Amino acid sequence: MVSSAHPLASAVGLDVMKNGGNAIDAAIATHFALAVVYPQAGNIGGGGFAVIRMNDGTISSLDFREKAPALAHREMYLNADGQLDNLLSTHGHMATGVPGAVDGMFALHQKYGTLPMAELIEPSIKMAQRGYAITPLAAELLNTKQEEFQTHNRWSTPYHSDQNWQAGDTITQPDLAQTLEHIQTNGRNGFYEGIVADQIVAEMQSGNGLISYADLKNYQSVWRKPIIGNYRGHQIISMAPPSSGGIALIQLLQGTEGYPIADWGHNSTKTIHLMAELEKRVYADRATYLGDPDFVDIPVNQLLDSLYNQQRYADISFDKATPSELVSAGEIPSSESPETTHLSVVDADGNAVAITTTLNSSFGNKVMVKGAGFFLNNEMDDFSSKPGVPNQFGLIGGDANAIAPHKRMLSSMTPTIVTKNGKLKMVVGTPGGSTIITSVYQTLLNVIDFDMGMQEAVHAKKVHHQWYPDEIRVETDALTGSVETDLEQLGHQLRMTDKIGRMDCILVLPDGRLEGGADPRGDNTALGY
C-alpha cells in the first residue's frame, strides 16, 4: 500500500510494487512523482527525512535535509537596525538551503533498492512530458499564488496563468522532464553537477542567492540512528535531529502514558488540557536544546529520560492552564548536547518506509529554476534567524538553531513507524510545520488509546499548542459540547483554524491486511492491492 498526497503519485508507487519492487523502490518513485504532480511540497529542490523498518526488524533513518550554503551567516536576515526581515528568509533566492532530496533518493536506493533507479524515475518523466490534470484543490491553491510566482520569477513558469486555473486543466513540464532525464542518465551528479547545477547557480546569481557549485557538489545526506521510545506496549521509531520530531514525540508520549485518556475521551476538556500543557513544555525544550547534531551537542538521552520528563511535567495542574511565560526549558546540567508532504509505504513482505519531504512553504521560495523547471525551497526560515523572534510557524529558537555555514536547520518533520510485539503496526506522518509533531502524536493516541481505525484517526479533528504563541489552535468542529468554554475557564486561549495536517498513514490490521489513512483535508490517496 502507498498513501501519499496525490492519487497519481500513489498510483506510481503502487505500480512499482506490482512490478516486483519493494517498499523503498515504491517510496522513491512516489517521491519523484510528487515533484511533478504536487509541486507545492513534492520536490527535487527541497529535502526531508526517511524512517525505514525492514521485515527482518532492522531499522534505519536517512537525513536528506537541506544545508545552509557556505556563504550563509548568522545575521544574514537582519536589516541595518538589527530587525529580522522575514521576507528574505521566506521568499526569493536568499531563502534557499542546498537541496538534499535527489541525494537522499540515491542514498535510499543504494542501500535498499531492488529495481533500477532509471525505472523508478521513468513514470515521473512521462507525467512531466505528457502533462497531468489538476484537481479542484490544486486549481484553488495555484490561483492564490499567481502574484508571488510573478514577483519571484523572471519568466513564465508552467504554473503561471493569465486566467484562473480550473480543475481538470493540464500542466506539462518539459523543463522538469529534461532535468529528471539528466538525473536518470547521470545519477545524483545529474542534479548536483553539470547542466542542472549550472541552471541552479545561474538562478542564484540572478537574485542574490548564495548556493555555489561547491555547495551542490559537496551535499551529502546522512544515515542517523533513529529515535526510539515506548508507549503502552508499542515501540515508536522516529526521526532524530536535525528533526525535532522524534524527540518531541517521545517526550509527549511519556507525559501521556500515566493518564487514562481513553476514559477521559477523545478531544475532551481534560485530554486537550493535558496535551496542551505537555506541548508547552516540550516545545520550550525544542526551542532551547535542539539543532543540527553535527554542530551542537544535543542532550538526547536526558530529553528522553523518563525521570527528567516526569519532573518536567510535575507542575501541571488540572485546575488551571500554566501561562507560557511561566514555562521555560527544563534544566539540563551541562548539555551533551506549510507546506510539507508525507508518504507511507508498506510492501507485501512487510517492509515499511515513512518519508516526510518539503520545500518548507507552499511552493518553497516561489522561485522555479529557469530551464530546469523545479521550485526551490525556503528552508533557511527554519533556522532561528534572531533569538526569540518567531519564524513563519511562530516557532522561536536560540543558539542551538542559529544559522552557520553548512549547518542543517531544525525541522519538525516526524516520519514514524510503530511496532507491537516485534511486528509492524503503523506507518505515520504528515506535513504542517510546527503542527507536524502534535498531529503525529494525536494520530498515535487515536489508534492506541481511542481505538480508532487508520482512516478515522487521520480524519479526526486535531488541536495544537507550541508554547508560543500561548494558545491552543483548534481545528473547526474539533470541540463539542461545553469543551470550548471549559478550556477557556481553565485559562486556555483558543484560536480556531481551518485545517491541521494532511496525514498519510498505514495500519496493519490484526489479520495482516493493511488499512490506509489518507487525509480528506487534501487530495491524499491510499492505494493498495
The binding site for ligand GLY (CB under 6 A) comprises: 340, 358, 360, 382, 411-413, 433
Residue 295 C-beta: closest distance to ligand GLY, Å: 17
Residue nearest to ligand GLY (CB): 411
Question: How large is the C-alpha radius of gyration of the chain?
Answer: 22
Contact 45, 138 (CB under 8 A): no
Burial class (CB within 10 angstroms; exposed 0-12, middle 13-18, buried 19+) of 187 = middle
The C-alpha torsion from 249 through 253 and 256 to 257, rounded to 10°, is 180
Catalytic residue among 30, 157, 288, 340: 340
DSSP states of 123-184: HHHHHHHH-EEPPHHHHHHHHHHHHHHHHH-SS--TT--SS---TT-EE--HHHHHHHHHHH
> Within 10 A of 273 (CB to CB), how many other CB atoms are there?
24
Residue 437 C-beta: closest distance to ligand GLY, Å: 9
Residue 92 C-beta: closest distance to ligand GLY, Å: 17
CB under 8 Å to 87, separation ≥6 — which residues? none
Residue 50 C-beta: closest distance to ligand GLY, Å: 14
Question: Partners of 234 in the beta sheet?
Answer: 231, 420
179 vs 378 by CB, closer to ligand GLY: 378
369 vs 413 by CB, closer to ligand GLY: 413
Residue pointed to by grid coordinates 540515491: 106
226 vs 429 by CB, closer to ligand GLY: 429
382 vs 449 by CB, closer to ligand GLY: 382
277 vs 379 by CB, closer to ligand GLY: 379
Residue 341 C-beta: closest distance to ligand GLY, Å: 11
> Within 10 A of 403 (CB to CB), how many other CB atoms are there?
19
212 vs 412 by CB, closer to ligand GLY: 412
Residue 360 C-beta: closest distance to ligand GLY, Å: 4
- The cell numbers describing 306, all together, are 523518563
CA 100 to CA 397: how far, in whole Å? 23
Contacts 24+ apart (CB under 8 A), 490-497: 490/269, 490/273, 490/319, 490/320, 490/321, 491/320, 491/321, 491/323, 492/273, 492/276, 492/321, 495/471, 497/473
Residue 361 C-beta: closest distance to ligand GLY, Å: 8
43 vs 212 by CB, closer to ligand GLY: 43
Strand ranges in 139-295 using DSSP code E only, listed in sequence order: 170-171, 222-224, 227-231, 234-238
Strand ranges in 392-513 using DSSP code E only, listed in sequence order: 416-420, 423-428, 463-464, 472-475, 494-497, 504-508
Residue 377 C-beta: closest distance to ligand GLY, Å: 8
403 vs 508 by CB, closer to ligand GLY: 403
DSSP states of 67-82: B--TT--TTTTB-TTS
68 vs 128 by CB, closer to ligand GLY: 68
3-state SS, residue 276: helix
Contact 24, 109 (CB under 8 A): yes
Residue pointed to by grid coordinates 511565560: 325
CA 314 to CA 311: how far, in whole Å? 5
3-state SS, residue 346: strand
Residue 382 C-beta: closest distance to ligand GLY, Å: 5
Tell me if residue 340 is catalytic: yes
Residues carrying an active site annotation: 340
